[in-house]
Chain A
Amino acid sequence: MSTVAAELKKTPLNAAHRALNAKMVDFGGWDMPVQYPAGILAEHEAVRTKAGLFDVSHMGEIRVKGPGALALVEHLTPNAVSKLAIGQVHYTAFLYENGTFVDDLLVYREGEQEFLLVVNAGNSDKDFAWVQQHAKGFDCTVVNESPATGQIALQGPLSVGILQPLTKTPLEPIGYYFFTHGEVAGIKCLISRTGYTGEDGFELYCAADDTEKLWNAVMAAGTPKGLLPAGLGCRNTLRLECKMALYGHEIDDTIHALEAGLAWIVKLDKGDFIGRDALLAAKAAPAPRKLVGFKTLEKRDIARDHMPVVQDGKQVGFVTSAAPSPTCGINLGLAYVPTEQAKVGGRIQIEIRGRAVDAEIIPTPFYKRQK
């Protein structure tokens, strides 16, 4: 082991990944599986057609509780928190005053005045500090539960069939983006019908010490049905096909929520929140750039993250994420381009290792599951 690897943070499933012969990588300071021996293509296909199991214990969890909790979360995020029922989840963000992203996150409403905020691993410390800093004057507690919490994600069309035999909690009635509490394989869990793959599935949160037992139980139940352990490699191709944003790619502290195509999480009429004034102003002015989906036209032209979008030899935009799409069989990507070039059917050029290649703007999401 190198000294660098020794300093990486480990999830409670680290030994389990190594026992499965996973290929481990440094992901935002975490020692995480990028793929198992089956490989990214097989894992991707398993999630689309059967099921895959992901370790997402590196994600951060922040609990906000107390008489001022609703008011604080409303202040910190642009989506309408008061519209959430207890037991419901939504996608939202922390924004700076200028409307750009501190992070994106899920908000779970656990009670009238209790919320669980689930944030990106690499931003977890920054996010916790951000919430604490703004909590002054709101009557509530803010607790970083990340170190005490494990999380696994069972994703794919066979998820209900794999998980139901392990729990007395009826799973079918849990709607998409709703959650409940129950026991899975005798382990207390938050059972959430959510995910980052575009497929049906569940994210299970449990005590860190129980994570390996939970993982093993789901693996044992699912393996005969075609479940594969799935790494970060296919997690990225799966989310890209569904145009789900990834912090550091489609969103960051230089991109605001409207140009990222996330107007649907911005409820400007809900009352004040951090970033609202900037987004009101941005909405009133013509947007200079827009996030679009594209495909390159030649098989050999495979765009990659952060490549420039060019016009007449000058950079006019950039690729946020791109890869050969396992499900669609074409080379896909997302890019910020000038608004006047952002029409579906239009052509853009991407510079791939010094060569400007043609790409066509196509509708997104690239993939949508049949319901």
Chain B
Amino acid sequence: MFPADLKYTKDHEWLKPMGDGTALVGITHYAQDALGDVVFVDLPEAGEAFGTGEEFGTVESVKTVSELNMPSEAEILEVNAALADHPEAVNEDPYGKGWMVKVRLKGALAADLMDAKAYEALVSAESH
């Protein structure tokens, strides 16, 4: 539920540093569970740049919509095109096939990103 190699935001996005200045970004298991069945993911174009916390897309479920916020300043390299036909991957595999964008990080990682332990504590507090 909380992979140790990821960084987390308080808005329930995850960021996976790949070690070469790039990273993958998606939403957490907790986030997909709260949204329910995902039916559409609206993503930006490659080349667009976003500051830390800036909205870069939306994820729509049957019952609601949620903004996607960039965990750390970055430029979009690639979006997960498979989500156009298979948005349910976000529910089924949020840390794998449900990834949303691949980015090139700019500068240092945002200071308020959490490790798995801190994020687990946040989720635990929110669900009680």
Contact = CB atoms under 8 A, between A and B. Distances in A.
Interface of A: 1-2, 23, 34-35, 39-41, 44, 233, 236-237, 299-300, 302, 304, 323-324, 326, 353
Contact of A324 (B42, B60, B91): B60
B18 interface: no
Contacts of A39: 36-37, 91
Contacts of B40: 299-300, 302, 324
A233 B60 contact: no
Interface in B57-85: 58, 60-65
A236 B42 CA distance: 24
A230 to B, nearest CB: 13
B128 A323 contact: no
Contacts of B36: 23, 34-35, 39-40, 233
Contact of A2 (B33, B37, B128): B128
A302 B65 contact: yes
Given A35-B36, A39-B37, A40-B37, A300 B42 contact: yes
B27 to A, nearest CB: 16
B128 A302 contact: no
A39 B92 CA distance: 12
B39 interface: yes
Contact of A233 (B42, B62, B128): B62
Report the contact-size class of chain B (Cβ under 8 Å from the partner): 10 to 19
Task: Report whether over half of chain A's contact residues are helix, strand or loop; otherwise say mixed.
Answer: mixed
Given A40-B61, A233-B63, 7 more contacts: A39-B91, A40-B63, A41-B37, A304-B65, A324-B40, A324-B60, A353-B58
A21 to B, nearest CB: 11
A323 B60 CA distance: 10
Contacts of A41: 37, 62
Nearest to B88: A41
B83 to A, nearest CB: 12
Contacts of B61: 40
Contacts of B39: 302, 324
Nearest to A40: B62
Considering the complex of A and B, which 4 residue pairs feature the smallest CB-CB distances, nearest first? A41-B37, A40-B62, A324-B39, A39-B37
Nearest to B63: A233
